[in-house]
Structure 1
Amino acid sequence: MMTYKKIILAFALLLTCNAFSFAQDLKLWYNKPAVKWTEALPIGNGRLGAMVFGAIDNDHLQFNEETLWTGEPRAYSRPGAYKYLDSIRQLLFAGKQKEAEALAEKEFMGLKSFEGERSGWITKATVDKKYAAANFDDSKWPTMTVPSWEGWEQVGHGGLDGAVWLRTSFVLPDDWKEEDMIADFNRIRDWDYSYVNGVLVGSQQNTEGRKYTVAKNLLHKGKNTIAILVLNFSDKGGVYGYKDTSIHIGIAPVSNPNAKISLNGDWKYFVVDDNPPPVGAYQAAYQPFGDLHLKFANTTAATNYKRELDITNAVAATTYSLNGVNYRREYLVSQPNQVIAVHLTASQKQSVSFEAELSSAHKNYTVTKVGNDLVLSVKVRTGALRGESYLRVVAKSGTVKIDNGKLIISNADEATLYLTAGTNYKNYKDITADPKQPCITALASIAGKTYLQIKAAHIKEYQQYFNTFSLNLGKSANESLPTDERIEQFATANDPSFVALYLQYGRYLLIASSRPGTRPANLQGIWNDLVNPPWGSKYTTNINAEMNYWPAELLNLLPLHQPLFDMISELAITGKQTAKDHYNAPGWVLHHNTDVWRGTAPINAANHGIWVTGGAWLCQHLWERYQFTQDKNFLKNKAYPIMKDAALFFNAFLIKDPKTGYLISTPSNSPEQGGLVAGPTMDHQIIRDLFKNVIAASEVLNVDAELRTILKEKYKQIAPNTIGKHGQLQEWMEDVDNPNNKHRHVSHLWGLYPGNEINWDETPEITKAAKQSLIFRGDEATGWSLGWKINFWARFKDGDHAFHMIKMLMSPAKNGAGSYPNLFDAHPPFQIDGNFGGAAGIGEMLIQSHTKYIDILPALPSALASGEVKGICARGGFVVDMQWSEGKLMKLKVRSIAGTELRLRYNGKIVTIKTIKNGEYQFDGQLRSL
């Protein structure tokens, strides 16, 4: 009997063999190099990732390896926390939310990692105050841009924690009268000692804004000096400004705060101590690995520059001309050979000369020579993981040497760099791997092979996933524009092919960050350049991690779902301990975040970190796999045991609400607002979905009849969706929704999407209320929230509104949501989930199968009136090809993978037919069989 893995691979191979007849020009391209990380082009193989900048004189590849994180294997759950569960519940039932949060904060949160002793370090770091003196000579200090919004990591100081002095000066106008001043230093992380002309004017330890009164006798006409000692222990550091960037750092008279002298700009800085004591953390953070720089001499006269990412082949390239020679650099990340490859060629022999060097954002790194290779060794500052990266060059003619830690290539006809990486991470509880071994194995695999052979194997492996699907929305005039200019014009241009490119880019990103056998795509996929990345670049399981995989089944990337399934299997193990320690319950539970060590306990703060349905939501992905493939082996051996254990937890966890008599979920919250509550709507939708799916799975497998009966009874008792006084779907048990609330999370619409209990067929009144909730919440949102809203409007079958949201998602990210020049989604900052949510939403506009019907073109927008899709998938085990023109279906082909009954619906017409396994069925625009 075939295993479910073999079935999925066979499924993908079958679809790959159906070659698509029309070509798609699927490229991102630019006429200038990347300057910012969000302009660079991503490449990856699921384990290794790199960002390609493509500069002519100093090319840069920032690279990652998926298992380099902070932290180490440890206990995350708090033993005995369950003893306080009933007290927390009783406080919530009594309406004492703040008291419940205080108790939970003290006794119910998970455990942090080791925290070092601070007092001695602080005393040492603050003892020398000479740097605050007005007459101190700071002329030899370097400069830093202040404020550095989102932390000084964003202005070239990644990984900088510790004690840092910052200094600047200003001139007090002669015509200002003598009076007290207000110094507004904006927000500072974590602790500041702020001086004016050598006198301490204020000190705080928090992340709030600093506004200090400066006595008039401290100031004088002419030059005055500001000095701030910043103590930063972890995460974002420095003077990092307000979210409203129009509010400058500055000083102003108390009587006229609008007359502020701006202090924004370059400040002098000096690092006193960059090794602060470790800070306890609830969870770990994904880390950058290293940087590869390629330096070329005498390139100022270069012309005809272009860089591109060909997502059909997963190959990036940089081309330019110089002194009559055409140069080309190609970049790829090979899965078969596990190397990052950079291939450099020229139209004239002996023209390839450059230097290559390795470095890292980590303080503890070294570069050594091992044989003919450069070896980068790194160690994370707060954790047990270390890594090795080998760099090898293969050149045709010319000379190669290693000198002073650099590879120097001179006068070659062509050259190929092969970059590898590995860590001592073996799995979430074992760090005994040899970090050199993946490098040695990879380099051994390319021995005797040419670059063209390695490239061909890479493309073949990649295209087995990519070529299962195509989308043609016609040609667009703006295809001739560079991608960054195309983004600028998309909202006002007729550019449907850009929508097809965006969807395919989402598929490319998932393939690049989530191959079978790797860890799943995290908050940034596999790409991260910061030691302190936003939100740890981990797995936020109250939507973001799940959103990453919304395209997997629908857009025919089934094998790419496997890493998420593997992580769920691991979480189902670690989550058992959390269920026992925090709830004294059977089964397993996951709260709103996890990391590479598979922590499952509540984190951060009680007002948002105690959210119990992360595991139940992940179980939906297991059921979706069965729904799309009808693979009973997968259901029996992989999905059902995990789903069952999650249901056993909620069977024990649900409690009767003393006011209504319904079973409710508590303590929990509605992500990420409203605080700790009893009975959030989202929880009940997810738990109902879990129970329903476990019941259905047990019937398919003919097992656990007794449990099935229990869950059916519990299902009926769970608090239902409720319509509130504003005609909205209530987010909580109480009717307290604020119509003016514009929060990015729309958690209580989970049952609409990705769930299915809210739909026009079965629950029209609840669906109408859900729509009213979304109207209240508004269109404006962060990037990933825009991605979610596209799917909502598609489920409402309002294609034009969904397309309006697509325009917002694909607009330039300028201090707000949208897309960066490389089409990365902007939360802001970068989060990859918006790319995946947007891609899935475009698919939902073309086909939906969450009810008993497969709806054809259910939310087709007028902007996408004509097109063709091949390889889009539907529940029940169907793969669909279709063409439409002027908003009307022209023809349809359905392949039945599992031989289940086919129920099609289009334009009010329903067709039901029996199918056979691997049978093909064709229809015209009126669903008449052909």
Structure 2
Amino acid sequence: MARYRIELTAEAAEFEDGFPVGNGRLGAMLHGRPGIELIDLNADTFWSGGPLPPPTTPGPADLLPALRRAVAAGEHARAEALAVRLQGTAWTQSYQPLGQLEWRHGDQRDITGYRRHLDLAEAEAVMQYSAASGAIRVAAYASAPDGVLVVTATGAGTVPAAVAPRLRSPHPGVTAARIVDPVAGPCVVWTGRAPAHVVPNYVADRHPAVVYATDTPAADGTVEAGMGFAVATAVRRTAEGLLLVVAVETGFRGHEHRPVADGAPLTAAAVARLAAALARAPQALRARHVEDYRRLFDRADLHLSGPAAAGPAELLFHLGRYLLISSSRPGTQPANLQGIWNADVRPGWSSNWTLNINTEMNYWAAESTGLEQLHEPLFQLTRDLAVAGERTAARHYAARGSAVHHNSDLWRFTAPVPGDPQWSNWPSALPWLAAHVWDHLAYGAGAGFGRATALPVLRAAARFALDLLVPDGEGALVLSPSTSPEHHFRFGADGFAATSWGCALDQELAREVLTRFVALSARWPAPADAALAREAATALRGLRQVPIGADGALLEWYDERPPREPGHRHLSHLYGLFPGTRITETGTPADFAAARRALAIRLEHGSGHTGWSRAWILGLAARLRDAALAAETIGALARDLCSTSLLTLHPDPGRPSGQIFQIDGNLGVVAGLTELLVQSHDGAIALLRALPAEWTAGTVRGIRCRGGHTAAVTWRDGRLESATVVAGAIGPLTVELAGPAAVHTADGTPVTTIEVAGAPPGRHRLCWAARSGTEYRIG
């Protein structure tokens, strides 16, 4: 269907204009070039580096008391200098490309009628055109069931013989071998190695920036760093045209284990995967792929009619869900800054997991749009980091629990990297990740997940938060040291610094994680947690609230401090409004008004100049019930911060286009769009809280809500026409809407409801006794 398609009439001018396909493990970016298709290949576990070596020198934790004294005394320059000394000496490693396949599939003469589209309903990239010798159609998809990339070329314009592709890899020493497998038949396999070390692209004064190892693998095929890879391809002539199948393998064996660099076992594994796929008929391969994909994609849908149908919102909703399905599956790595699509050896910000907003944003919509099992890679990363961060907490802070800073990678890096404290010295990543663990429980995960994942993660985060708390001299507890991610405040005539105490984001996260640990330790009591729960409860009573400034806005730092960038892209001090849940219109009205003012100030000064920042603004607008801001934000995102293929962008002056693809905006915008229509964070399932005026009519379905419920809504002329809620549990069920409404079960039986308090102005809340699995119809 056309409403699930991104349609273009020109090939990709830049990487970010291509069409991405993926199965969570293998990623491919198709450029849509007539005659010779260009396909950038990635594998989720193909990174530079190797397992983190154990430290050989003492940590800098002995500096912490002096740093805290400088912060308390307002000695900003000294605090900043000490914060730099508290940092580590290493950076994260970088996500790597395998290379670019060039595949000659058809006639390149006299091209007419060119068009290409990305089919979001069936996860397939298609290119069609006519050449001198006839029409050509090229279609590509990445199959999760079979673990391969499949590309077909059909039509009279295809080349008469099966031509093997070429791999152009940026890595030196890549070798090609022609193999005849008993099952797969003739294959071409390329093998090579990743760099042993890559300095991040934002570090300019380190040479060499990319280092390749020259060591010989040990007897077991492993090395300290610089894993191997294999790319296996086979091309077959079929009755319809040409079939290209691609399989990839990497030497990753786990973040604590030496990677494999011997090409022989990687070749064997890639060819075996290729052979298994080729044993199936092409039609069966595609059918298995579509069935697997649609099992996830069809769980939720958004359909806008009227003037909004021609706008970008619906496509952005479908594209974001498509990208998460394509880049994150159980057993894979989580989606990184670019999902699983990257063509650079030194990609932007290492294409790593940036944990001060971006990685978390990737998963904001996983629970609400029916993709909850795709959250699992993030949970595995969180479990791993909770363990790895114990050493960082001890070495850098002499603290219990686990400290995780703003960047991580395949090897579960947790330390503060060298550089400016505004981004390096932020140790609150684990509490933010813990929010996703909590949400998984809130949306209906069972006790097994709670005991095995949620409780250990929250325990580790709570221990560290408690050890970071200090008295502020005014009767309250604040985290020290503390920074507001990637932002400075000004002091003196021309000074600026990041290091402080009690910054808004850190305070919000500490309150959240301590509150939730207390709740879980009561839900699943264990003698070992009793003392820690009491300590957390005591700390919560003294924890400083985020203050409101003289201008009526929530403060970003401990007290009134001029921001270095009033229009900064990060909106960290608004976490409590979104994606957090503490600030609500009726529960905390003063903070709600202060959050509205803080956002207005940011926007007045130009915030929202990256794709992900706009996605965050959309979520905030939804929580503020500001439909006009939401509509403006969607328009600005699509108009100014998306590529031709609707991939969201971040400014990057170092690139020819001046921009780089980052997936967070694409994935985060889905959460914002969903929140405009259905919210469930403040005690009710709230319908159509922030419906843009342009969205005169439409339907959304399959929206999961906290409590395990599922909602669908239809509206016309800007008003609710009907809604259904399938209850996920027995007990009181509260729905909020613009006016009173009747409630019936699916068989028409009336349901007795009562109106309850808690609704924002102009809204109503209806409550009734629900039965698990029962469908309730409203309107």
User: Shorter-chain TM-score: what band?
Assistant: 0.7 to 0.9
Q: Which residue of 1 aligns with 2:122?
A: 313
Write out per-residue CA displacement over residues 534-562 of structure 1, whole angstroms, 9 at most, x where no aligned residue. 10000110000000000101111111101
The match for 1:783 among 611, 622, 628 is 611
Q: Which residue of 2 aligns with 1:920?
A: 775
Q: Is the 8 A contact 1:630 1:898 kept in 2?
A: no
Q: Is the 8 A contact 1:739 1:777 kept in 2?
A: no
The answer for unaligned runs of 5 or more in structure 2 is: 181-185, 198-225, 489-497, 652-659, 739-762
Q: Is the 8 A contact 2:608 2:617 kept in 1?
A: no
Do residues 509 (structure 1) and 318 (structure 2) align? no
Cα distance in 2 for residues equivalent to 1:693 and 1:42: 38
Do residues 72 (structure 1) and 53 (structure 2) align? no
CA apart distance, 1:584: 1.7
Q: Which residue of 1 aligns with 2:14?
A: 36
Letter in 2 for 1:366: T
Q: Which residue of 2 aligns with 1:286?
A: 95
User: What secondary structure sits across from 1:292 in the alignment?
Assistant: strand
Q: Which residue of 2 aligns with 1:611?
A: 426
The match for 1:697 among 520, 536, 549 is 520
User: What secondary structure sits across from 2:729 in the alignment?
Assistant: coil
Q: 1:327 to 1:767 in 2, by over 3 A?
A: same
Q: Which residue of 2 aligns with 1:897?
A: 728
Write out per-residue CA displacement over residues 224-281 of structure 1, whole angstroms, 9 at most, x where no aligned residue. xxxxxxxxxxxxxxxxxxxxxxxxxxxxxxxxxxxxxxxxxxxxxxxxxxxxxxxxxx
Do residues 819 (structure 1) and 661 (structure 2) align? no
User: What secondary structure sits across from 1:570 in the alignment?
Assistant: helix
User: What secondary structure sits across from 2:502 in the alignment?
Assistant: coil
The match for 1:49 among 27, 31, 37 is 27
Letter in 2 for 1:902: L
The match for 1:807 among 635, 643, 657 is 635
Cα distance in 2 for residues equivalent to 1:75 and 1:739: 37
Do residues 650 (structure 1) and 465 (structure 2) align? yes
The match for 2:175 among 345, 351, 366 is 366
Q: 1:318 to 1:677 in 2, by over 3 A?
A: same
Write out per-residue CA displacement over residues 665-688 of structure 1, whole angstroms, 9 at most, x where no aligned residue. 111210111211122111000110
Q: Which residue of 2 aligns with 1:538?
A: 352
Q: Is the 8 A contact 1:375 1:389 kept in 2?
A: yes
The match for 1:570 among 368, 384, 398 is 384
Q: Which residue of 2 aligns with 1:448?
A: 279
Q: Is the 8 A contact 1:423 1:436 kept in 2?
A: no
Q: Which residue of 2 aligns with 1:435?
A: 266
How many correspondences in the alignment? 694
Letter in 2 for 1:747: S
Q: Which residue of 2 aligns with 1:560?
A: 374
Q: Which residue of 2 aligns with 1:395?
A: 237
Cα distance in 1 for residues equivalent to 2:701 and 2:462: 37
1:62-461 alignment runs, 5 A limit: 62-75=40-53, 79-106=58-85, 108-112=86-90, 282-295=91-104, 298-323=107-132, 325-347=134-156, 351=160, 354=163, 356-371=165-180, 372-383=186-197, 384-396=226-238, 414-433=241-260, 434-461=265-292
Cα distance in 2 for residues equivalent to 1:876 and 1:850: 10
Write out per-residue CA displacement over residues 403-457 of structure 1, whole angstroms, 9 at most, x where no aligned residue. xxxxxxxxxx522111111111111111344433541331232242111111111
Q: Is the 8 A contact 1:679 1:733 kept in 2?
A: yes
CA apart distance, 1:350: 7.7
User: What secondary structure sits across from 1:638 in the alignment?
Assistant: helix
Q: 1:297 to 1:446 in 2, by over 3 A?
A: closer
Cα distance in 1 for residues equivalent to 2:158 and 2:514: 68
User: What secondary structure sits across from 2:377 in the alignment?
Assistant: helix
Cα distance in 1 for residues equivalent to 2:157 and 2:35: 19
Instruction: Specify the structure having the higher radius of gyration (Cα).
Output: 1
Q: Is the 8 A contact 1:79 1:582 kept in 2?
A: no
Cα distance in 2 for residues equivalent to 1:440 and 1:350: 25
The answer for unaligned runs of 5 or more in structure 1 is: 1-22, 113-281, 398-412, 477-493, 813-817, 925-930
Cα distance in 1 for residues equivalent to 2:160 and 2:167: 23
Q: Is the 8 A contact 2:130 2:136 kept in 1?
A: yes
Cα distance in 1 for residues equivalent to 2:430 and 2:62: 22
User: What secondary structure sits across from 1:810 in the alignment?
Assistant: helix
Q: Which residue of 2 aligns with 1:732?
A: 557
Q: Which residue of 1 aligns with 2:202?
A: none
Q: Which residue of 1 aligns with 2:712?
A: 881
Cα distance in 1 for residues equivalent to 2:589 and 2:334: 36
Larger CA deviation: 722-731 vs 369-378: 369-378
Cα distance in 1 for residues equivalent to 2:698 and 2:298: 18
Q: 1:438 to 1:665 in 2, by over 3 A?
A: farther
CA apart distance, 1:851: 0.6
Q: Is the 8 A contact 1:571 1:590 kept in 2?
A: yes
CA apart distance, 1:569: 0.7
Q: Which residue of 1 aligns with 2:450?
A: 635
Write out per-residue CA displacement over residues 904-926 of structure 1, whole angstroms, 9 at most, x where no aligned residue. 111122111222222211111xx
Q: Is the 8 A contact 2:428 2:509 kept in 1?
A: yes
Report sequence identity in percent: 32
Q: Which residue of 2 aligns with 1:140?
A: none
CA apart distance, 1:351: 4.7
Q: Is the 8 A contact 1:315 1:331 kept in 2?
A: yes
CA apart distance, 1:838: 1.2
Q: Which residue of 2 aligns with 1:758?
A: 583
Letter in 2 for 1:619: A
CA apart distance, 1:732: 1.0
User: What secondary structure sits across from 1:863 in the alignment?
Assistant: coil
Q: Is the 8 A contact 2:94 2:350 kept in 1?
A: yes
Cα distance in 1 for residues equivalent to 2:729 and 2:160: 57
Letter in 1 for 2:316: Y
Cα distance in 2 for residues equivalent to 1:539 and 1:819: 21
Cα distance in 1 for residues equivalent to 2:80 and 2:157: 70
Do residues 472 (structure 1) and 295 (structure 2) align? no
Write out per-residue CA displacement over residues 731-781 of structure 1, whole angstroms, 9 at most, x where no aligned residue. 111211459711111111011111111111111111111111111111542
Q: Is the 8 A contact 1:516 1:563 kept in 2?
A: yes
Write out per-residue CA displacement over residues 319-342 of structure 1, whole angstroms, 9 at most, x where no aligned residue. 112346221111011111111111
Q: Which residue of 2 aligns with 1:4?
A: none
Q: 1:427 to 1:913 in 2, by over 3 A?
A: same
Letter in 1 for 2:26: L
CA apart distance, 1:708: 2.7
Q: Is the 8 A contact 1:731 1:737 kept in 2?
A: no
Letter in 2 for 1:852: G
CA apart distance, 1:308: 1.0
Q: Which residue of 2 aligns with 1:27?
A: 5
Q: Which residue of 1 aligns with 2:415?
A: 601
CA apart distance, 1:633: 2.2
User: What secondary structure sits across from 2:39 in the alignment?
Assistant: strand
The match for 1:717 among 533, 542, 564 is 542
Q: Which residue of 2 aligns with 1:243?
A: none
CA apart distance, 1:606: 4.6
Q: Is the 8 A contact 1:758 1:767 kept in 2?
A: yes
Q: Is the 8 A contact 1:38 1:822 kept in 2?
A: yes
